[in-house]
Structure 1
Amino acid sequence: MSLYELLGTVEVGLIFGLVALGAFITFRILDFPDLTVEGSFPLGAAVAAILIVNFGWNPWPATLVAAIAGFGAGFVTAFLNVRFNILHILSGILVSISLYSINLRVMSGPNKPLLGAHTIFSAVQGWGIPAYILSPLLLAVIILSIKVLLDLFLHTGLGMNMRAAGANPAMAAANGVNVGRMKLLGLGMANALTALAGAMFAQSFGAADAYMGIGVIIIGLASVIVGMSILPVRTIAQATLACLFGAMLYRFAVAFSLNADFLGLKASDVQLVTAILVVVTLVGQSSRSGMGKLLKRKSS
């Protein structure tokens, strides 16, 4: 793997670290299996691309608006579940398939090129250092800053209420926590992070596409599962760090698999590699758990 490919893998891993943080909020904090992300990821890309290319917006506020659009998508999913008691998985599916049509309308077609347009990565051009080196550094600063802000939020009173609503909804409600509002806020935040990742991904690779959200939910879950199975997660800060680490490890595993000629894999096999990676991780977790129980029985 060349230096260019290595840094490119790091860049993608950092971007999908935001997706992993979003999956951490929905699946780990709120215990809400959210499938909206497959629509909110391309939504963020579409909104940012249109604002930058068609309306000449500065890429930074355009990226922020993309995140706000993602928040709205997550909010609608939670609203369907909280207000109308629609099953959480079905709520996510309904919003996700709706977003497919919305994204096509936003871009007036299946894709929107960004080649030659100013992006957030334009800020690091002309510094005398290749952009493929500075771009991952810029992303690292942004993603780590978001991670720290999320850690701080989850330790506030509002964040503690959200964690309580996910851990034990009945007990949280009995203590005055509005569980429905926590779902609205949590899913909005998670999809805002996912849409932000989509906006950055489109600007990094020069195009937004209506199909770029396919498999995003699996990537987010794989990152969370892999990261939290390898690193210790005794605190929220460690858990969010594990999610970012898992996203990075996932991208490197995929890159290694696709670059290993002896395996005979192609770019179209990415989803297969992802599924195998998640299965191996889950099997490894269950094996360690079973071995731990066996050792305890023998020691007793």
Structure 2
Amino acid sequence: MAMDFSNAALPAHYGLHFTPTFHSKIPPNIDPTSTTLPNPFIVVVTGAGKGLGYHISLAYASAGCSGLAISSRTSSDLDALASEISKIAEKRGTKIEVLKVVADVQSDSDVSNLEKEVRQKWGRVDVMIANAGVISKYVEAPSSSGSNLPRGIVQDADWARVLDINLNGVWRVSKAFVPLLSESKDGPQALISSCSMAAHSTISELTPIAYNVSKVAGMRLMECVANDHGEEGVQAFALHPGAVVTPQTKNHAGGQWSDILADDEGLAGAFCVWLTKEKREWLSGRYVSCNWNVKELEAKKDEIVKGNLLKYRMVV
């Protein structure tokens, strides 16, 4: 099957143009450097050492959070990120406490220890970003379209690892941190899972099956968390973080990848800051995209709530 990645070719249910205005770069009204977060404001980011998690962490630092717990599997990556956070804090003239925790979201004990360290240091968490994620390993022989991503269930031999990181990892993080989010009553109590607009696709050369299934399930997981823990104040969001060149995507081959992976690497972080700087119950349990215009999104509030939009449903 030939792949057509053009924006015009995407079906409406992908939600690409849910707001008429589409952003690939940070618009001024959500620039984190122009935001001042409440104090205290504690943020935890998994998969923070590289890619989107790195830039999401910097966005919260730029917005003046009081504490950042950064987690990844590589200590040296965390050291480099902590150094950049320190520079941002110095430039702002503020203090940001940084907690570095080496943790693998595939490990129950690592995730439990991350929660324990955050609880001991601050006794609260305002925003939990379940960002750690991977895509299936490349295949040796590209398809006729030039894609080096595995096509179909037979080629996608990376199923177990991808599901354990992208889905079970989000489940482990959610299970560990929902109680602390529930206790942090004076904050946004926000859980954000990194999902993907690409999960709407059933073309496996674009989204390998393991990745697709993990992200679809992650969206439903956020809906369930919102339903089950909303009365405790917990909000949960499934975030499309844009189409970005990251360590996971930089070696994608074939097709129009250079045109697709064109979003600003800082856009997702800026959107996260906007999403969580205050309570937004009307968006909790839903899919959101960092490419959307927030003013136009807010104008759709009544429509979203009345129609129960931005959730997975079967068309019958």
Q: Do the two structures share a fold, i.e. TM-score over 0.5?
A: no
Question: Which is higher, the Rg of structure 1 or of structure 2?
Answer: 1
User: Of Structure 1 and Structure 2, which has the larger fraction of its residues in strand?
Assistant: 2
TM-score, normalised by the number of residues in structure 1:
0.30
User: Of Structure 1 and Structure 2, which has the larger fraction of its residues in helix?
Assistant: 1
